[in-house]
Chains A and B, each alone.
Chain A
Amino acid sequence: MKILHDRNFSNRFAVPVLTACLILMNNYLYAQNLVSGKVTTKEGEALIGVTILEQGTNYGVITDIDGNFNIKVKPDAVLVISYVGYVSKSIPVGNRTDFNIQLESDVKQLEEIVVVGYGTQKKSHLTGAISKLKNEKLNELPFTRADEILVGQIAGLQVSTSSEEGVGSDPTLRVRGVGSINADAGPLLVIDGAPVDSDFFGNLDINDIESYEVLKDAASAAIFGSRGANGVILITTKDGKDGPTKFNYNGFTGYQEAIRSDDYDLSVEDQIAFETSILGEVTDRTRFKQQIGSVDWQDVFFDGGLINSHSLSARGGNKKTKFSTSISYFEDEGVLLTDNFERVNFKAKVQSKVSDKFSFNLNLSPSYSVRRRFPDATREVFRQEPYVPTFHTEETLQLVDTDGFPDLEVGDFVRQSHFNNFILIDTVFNDAGEIIGIDSTDLGGVSNTNQVNPVARATQQEIIDKRFQIYSSLGADYKLNENLSFTASFTASFQDLLRTRFEGLEHSIDPSDALARETNQSRFRLVQNVFANYSKSFINHEITAVLGFSGEQVIERFTEFESRGFSTDAIPRIEGGASVALREGFERQRRLLSYIGRVNYAFQDKYLASLSVRADGSSSFGPNNRYGIFPAASIGWRISQENFLAGSSILSDLKLRASYGVTGNDAVNLPNNLLEFNAFQSVLESTSVASNGGIGQTFVAANIANPDLQWERSIEFNPGIDLGLFDNRIIASIEYYQRTSDDLLLNVPVSTTTGFDAALVNIGEVRNEGAEFEIRTVNVNSGSFSWNSTLIASTNKNTLRDFGDADGTVLSPDDGSRSGAEWLVSVGNPISNFYGFVAESEIPIEFIQRPFDFIGGQNEQVYVKDLNGDGIIDDDDRTILGNPLPDFIWSITNEFTYKNFDLSFQWQGSHGAETRNIADFDVFGWSGSDLEADPNTTPNFDFVRPKIQTDAIIQDASFIALRNLNFGYTLPQRFLDSFKLSSARIYASASNLLYLTASDFTGFNPESIRQGGDFNAITNGYNRGGVPLARRIVIGVNINF
């Protein structure tokens, strides 16, 4: 119990003295009754911190941890019992001395608690930009990963299915745009208070998640210091609750198929129609191909698959100990020919109160997943024309070049070159239809590629990731008194990833290229937190503060072996080969020492302020800049609490707020992984050298040391408004942000006379600015029918503001046969810009050499515009052709309930991004065929350029998707009782039921963007065909018992 206001010194030491004084001074000395009571919810749960105020005075108390209070008041007093989120009550005291008060929750201002970094906060007191997403029915949607499911759920968070590896691989997450070039631009992941590797997203069971909180602005994320710059995603897992053990089973099963591309539907039949329309007949080449076969590559490679999920949990406990356990199995066959994903999760979470002051908690969640990835790129598949069958048959063998390939048999993989040099023999008829002879034509080379059959490339190669992860933590809370508590925790997260790769004898033309590779990566992360938490409430003041220390250590080990010399595919592992042909390895460590402090203050529940600071020391940075300071400040004004707005029938909530903070990013990506942690010092790596007839060992310098190296820095300003209208039936928030990131970690080119071509320095500046809009409405809420809507929208504008001497650099990352696609680094424009010529018009088919050589082939060149009008086409006629960053992303969710039925669906869209769809290069036969204009006959040949260098393959990446849909039926109570169930729901849900892309987009998935290698933030947007999106439909049950 706590006496408020002018009696607030009443703690156990001061009570006797002060009470004596007060007795003498207090006006209420006479005729006062000691009144006591307990405040609970309707459900009987004790409410802590409820204000009990004597009406008309500033005198009052608040309830203790068990909801109890004592107060001395006159009998004619009226007690006002108020608590945020609940309807206040006024109760005349009279002669009663004992009160049992139940407060009803206030629907219109249900006080939400939001998890913030190292603590929680009332939503009404938030002054930063934090979005909360509770897992209500997310676990019923057919998504594979806990990050994928966030698509369209949170304003300012962009989730793209970008990977080319197929099911289970990581999507690209961006909070408020891209603020980094060479470093990770993805948010930091924090599970139950401890930072973990973002890989943990892949192995989480969505059923275990209670809520997601996304810290978007720098003021909220600055508490994570040198890793906060890309935003932070906090995941809180489910706790057990006081009461009888509740069991839950949630499971679904269903089917998925790929969302195909009509533009890439090429067929021999269409080619015949095309040739007939132009030539009036079919070319010999195509007639020959027609005899070989007809294949729909999208059918072959996009084979669809099953998806199954089963999760069983038991949660419960008593006053002292609560537990939450679960086990789950998830299986997803993906939509591609070879991809597959399976996952098993366990979880045990226990909280136990040892005494009133001391409690501890334990959290263990191991998981294991096996992912077989699609080992190839879809563009390689579609290089093959649709006449190429997978296997030889008796019929196809008749058409084979037996001189070149004398040993082919039925069942062998077909290769295009098998059909070269065929002599096509035609019977010649006269007008009367009588045979008058034969006509033979040597077709020469009909193949456009030397590659093996794409099915062989995919199935005779196996890349499997086996990932074991465990998250384990042990924590303790010690409550010194009402105001001050300490927490300490150790969190160890460990992951072991074994990747095996096997390329079988038939994977390559030359069987001696068969190989097995084994890559092992283990990562251990230990986080130790020690915190003091202080909170104190007065009538007008509320202070919460944390002060703490965090130490973190990451130890990572990587090894890779390759063996060669396979005579059979029988043992597709390194032990099956004759000799070890490669060894790689490294071990690296990073340590972080952090000092963290934050104070939140609220005055009269109206004026809010928050200050925080974190000092991070990192082992990855130079001695000159080893420590960094990341401060943040934010303020808020709850105007709706002011008297002049009290009682407004329209405005139920209004808060203005503004935040400012500094965050950092230390996750630099370098081709050399050792340097990522050690680039500040000179690194000499061991390597092999041929020496004296054997293999010797030597050290080779890997970098130019930079002792000044430090993190990238982001400074963000974020004003915002939270608004509630009509008893909060409409809730809206609007954010504006401007985040300026500088000191970017860049590997800048240096003169090679130094011995190196690049050095890692802090240089450059990028700005992201934009607005976010979120509105939730209760459209209808009658007894049996309700309809809620949510609209989320965000804009982002990205500008490169400084890039040192490299401004104006043109980059062409994919050297080799597809070279020519260029990006421009340009200050004043977005971070990534497609660069090249502007296509003017197609070249008429009569000037194309061999236009019918490739089924579905299109001309690979185009006339381009003379932009500067000087009469010639040269490099000066290139311009910026677009950028891969969306300007506007949005989603609209509608939820309906009618009696026991409910339906929700979400539309989601993205607009303003372009993609460079390089898949056209392969699908339309620009690779390896002669679909080029004839330089001798084509008019204005000087104005002809390959389409790959122009905007002809720059396509609108916008899309609108019916992202998810969930239709459910909750079984009525009378039915449940007979099965002893407490609730049961059956549902059907779907994802990507509709997926609409821009009319000029020819590919499968506009979000599937090449990542890694030479492709980073400045050379972004390269679509190589990628992986199509999955359209999934499942049915499921969700039972509590």
Chain B
Amino acid sequence: MKAFSKILFVTTLILTFSCGDALEPEPVSFVTGDSFFSNDAELENGVLAMYEGLQGTNTPQFNEPRATQIEFYLTEMRSDNTQSRNGGSLDSDFQQFELYEVDVQNFVVRNYYESMYNIIFRAHLVLDNIENASDRRREEFEGQARFVRAYSYFQLVRLFGPVPMPLRVIAPEEAEIAFTRVDAPMVYQQIVQDLKAAIDNLDDSGSRTMATRSAAQALLAKVYLTIAGAENIEPIANYDSARILCEDIINSGQFALMDNYFDVFNSEVNGREDPDDEELAPNTEVIFAIEYVRNNPLTSQNYSREWGDFGFRFANFTTEDIRNAYFERGETERVAFAESNSPGAFFVTKYLPNSSILEQAGNDWIVLRYADVLLMYAESILSINTSTGDLRAVDAYNEVRERAGFDVPAFAFTEDELFEERRIELAFENQRFFDLLRIDENQNSAELILSTHSVEVGGNFARTDLLLPIPQNEINLSLGTSTILEQNNGY
């Protein structure tokens, strides 16, 4: 018996002490980031993670980054295109946008701000570890990461004005970087640099749901138009830079308008929705889209449901103003709204859920498409003028109108006509607000358009409402540090 008990004790001791790294169990359900991004496969994973960030989380809550899925609140709902079904409300963070009474605590704004910096962080995980890539893949990864970073900063600078601009992964202690707002021209300069690098590093062989050379070109063209039109910095030179980029895309012959307008939104960019579907002809018009796959909570989006009668917030319903614009112009092919269960309200019919589970829609979000490039081309040739009869511009303009069923070609167009064309062609695609920023201030300015619109919906627009507030919690966090983050005027 003694022998037995001794054996027991020895066994116990051995079992107990044998595990040398007893306090460092091997991770099972995760990989530890300290040693990750060390080779091509891991960096490629990092690139995908950026797009996962852009896709945003499909949830009705606001505790996870929603990114693109809530972008319409910050853009379309602040333009003259849409409003909430039941009208604006100061009490609701969803309904403040149309009233131009966005609170500094607004959690939709905060979520978007957070989302963009999270995506930038993911881009920096790739860029900071780029030396671990093989020579063969390094340019591709760098191009991808710089494109995504440029896109994120482009969204931020247009919505918030000067913003903090980390250019690498930063730690919470680095208050100076986190809370110093970099002037808009400096941010634009960085965006241009990133996109130029992306154009150099990328080709057009990849999927249209990731960065390609054409996507970087088209985005850079829009950046130039914005620098010229909205920032009014060296407009003639910047319009011309945009023109060259658009020309390059048009001449590449890779893109064409879809014959049927609604096919643009109903045809998936990659030609099929799930792997089980038979492969269809890909969408020839899309240059860059953010991809979603339906009926899966992790890869789908819910804005398609939110916009309709089945949504929870009844957001992004059409304004009477845009419906009148459709009627006055005699639009037939592009009418993108239908009457709701609630009489008198009309919801958007672009991006209607293509899924059996309504809030798990797979419709891709189109960021850049060929019609946009054609109209940007026209805009770049129009340059600082109020109208143009330049054939290159008019041809591009007519190409878009012709698909919309307007067979009689125009011989010239004014700035107003061009932007009205953009408004209808790109309606509800989150372009309108940013377009308004580019409209010549001497003409039918953004301020005038938004003031008129805001009166119609019971809001209270002021020029300072062109920028959103920096989320208050960021400002609060800066208070204890050496660098105080400043709020935009009017908030």
Which residues of A approach B to under 8 Å, CB–CB? 354-355, 357-358, 476, 478, 486, 488, 490, 510, 512, 528, 530, 549, 551, 562, 564-565, 578-579, 581-582, 585-591, 593, 617-619, 626, 671, 674, 678, 681-702, 704-705, 749-757, 759, 805, 809, 815, 819-820, 1014
Contacts and interface: CB of A to CB of B under 8 A. Distances in A.
A689 B48 contact: yes
B97 interface: no
Contact of B34 (A586, A591, A682, A685): A682
A820 B46 CA distance: 40
B207 interface: yes
Contacts of A751: 164, 172, 175, 178-179, 474, 477-478
Given A582-B297, A755-B117, A591 B23 contact: yes
A751 B25 CA distance: 31
A358 B270 contact: no
B292 A678 contact: no
B16 A549 contact: yes
B270 A693 contact: yes
A488 B9 contact: yes
Contacts of B310: 510
B32 A690 contact: no
Contact of A585 (B29, B271, B473): B29
A705 B33 contact: yes
Nearest to A755: B121
B30 A691 contact: no
B15 A750 contact: no
Contacts of B426: none
- Top 4 closest A-B pairs, CB basis? A755-B121, A682-B33, A693-B270, A751-B178
A488 B31 contact: no
B5 to A, nearest CB: 5
B143 to A, nearest CB: 17
Contacts of A685: 29-30
B120 interface: yes
B422 interface: no
A53 B117 CA distance: 81
A573 B271 CA distance: 34
B8 A476 contact: yes
Nearest to B485: A751
B299 A689 contact: yes
A694 B5 contact: no
Contact of A478 (B5, B27, B46, B299): B5
Given A581-B296, A619-B23, A690-B292, A754 B178 contact: yes
A686 B125 CA distance: 16
Interface in B24-66: 24-25, 27-34, 36, 45-46, 48-49, 51-53, 55, 62-63
Given A698-B48, A756-B118, 7 more contacts: A626-B23, A678-B30, A685-B29, A689-B298, A701-B121, A701-B125, A756-B121
Contacts of A588: 28-29
Nearest to B62: A815
B166 interface: yes
A625 to B, nearest CB: 12
Interface in B353-407: 356-358, 360, 362
Nearest to A683: B30
14 contacts: A476-B8, A478-B5, A488-B8, A528-B15, A528-B16, A589-B28, A619-B25, A684-B32, A684-B33, A689-B298, A690-B299, A704-B171, A753-B178, A757-B114
Nearest to A488: B12
Contact of A693 (B23, B124, B271): B271
A564 to B, nearest CB: 5
A684 B48 contact: no
Given A754-B170, A815-B93, A564 B34 contact: no
B30 A702 contact: yes
Contact of A551 (B22, B170, B299): B22
A593 B121 CA distance: 37
Interface of B: 1-2, 4-5, 8-9, 12-13, 15-16, 19, 22-25, 27-34, 36, 45-46, 48-49, 51-53, 55, 62-63, 91, 93, 107, 113-114, 117-118, 120-122, 124-125, 164, 166, 169-172, 175, 177-179, 207, 209, 268, 270-275, 291-293, 295-300, 310, 356-358, 360, 362, 471, 473-474, 476-480
A757 B471 CA distance: 12
A528 B15 CA distance: 9
A530 B36 contact: no
A815 B125 CA distance: 33
Contacts of A357: 2, 5
A691 B209 contact: yes
**Binding site secondary structure of chain A:** strand
B63 A691 contact: no
B16 A551 contact: yes
Nearest to B60: A816
Contact of A699 (B49, B293, B296): B49
A473 B118 CA distance: 48
B254 to A, nearest CB: 18
B172 A699 contact: no
Contact of B29 (A586, A682, A753): A586
Nearest to B48: A698
Contacts of B273: 693
B475 to A, nearest CB: 10
Contact of B275 (A586, A589, A694, A750): A694
A667 B30 CA distance: 20
A755 B5 contact: no
B42 to A, nearest CB: 8
A754 B358 contact: no
A699 B45 contact: yes
B478 A687 contact: no
A921 to B, nearest CB: 14
Contacts of B275: 693-695
Given A512-B357, A755-B121, A757-B114, A696 B25 contact: no
A231 B31 CA distance: 35
A689 B52 CA distance: 5
A831 to B, nearest CB: 20
A681 B93 CA distance: 35
Contacts of A755: 117-118, 120-122, 124, 169
A1012 B45 CA distance: 34
B113 A528 contact: no
Contacts of B271: 693
B114 A752 contact: yes
Nearest to B11: A488
A581 B360 contact: yes
A528 B18 CA distance: 13
Given A581-B360, A705-B33, A689 B49 contact: yes
A565 B356 contact: yes
A1031 B121 CA distance: 56
A591 B172 contact: no
Given A681-B34, A753-B170, A618 B122 contact: no
A678 B24 CA distance: 10
Contact of B52 (A486, A682, A700): A700
B32 A682 contact: yes
B28 A671 contact: no
A202 to B, nearest CB: 26
B30 A671 contact: no
Contacts of B63: 671, 1014
A749 B473 contact: yes
Contacts of B45: 698-699
A752 B118 contact: yes
Q: Which of A619, A689, A751 has the most CB of B within 10 A?
A: A751
B1 A354 contact: yes
A405 to B, nearest CB: 13
Given A689-B48, A691-B51, A683 B33 contact: yes
Contact of A589 (B25, B93, B293, B297): B25
Contact of A694 (B13, B25, B274, B480): B274
Given A683-B33, A749-B473, A755-B118, A690 B55 contact: yes
A587 B28 contact: yes
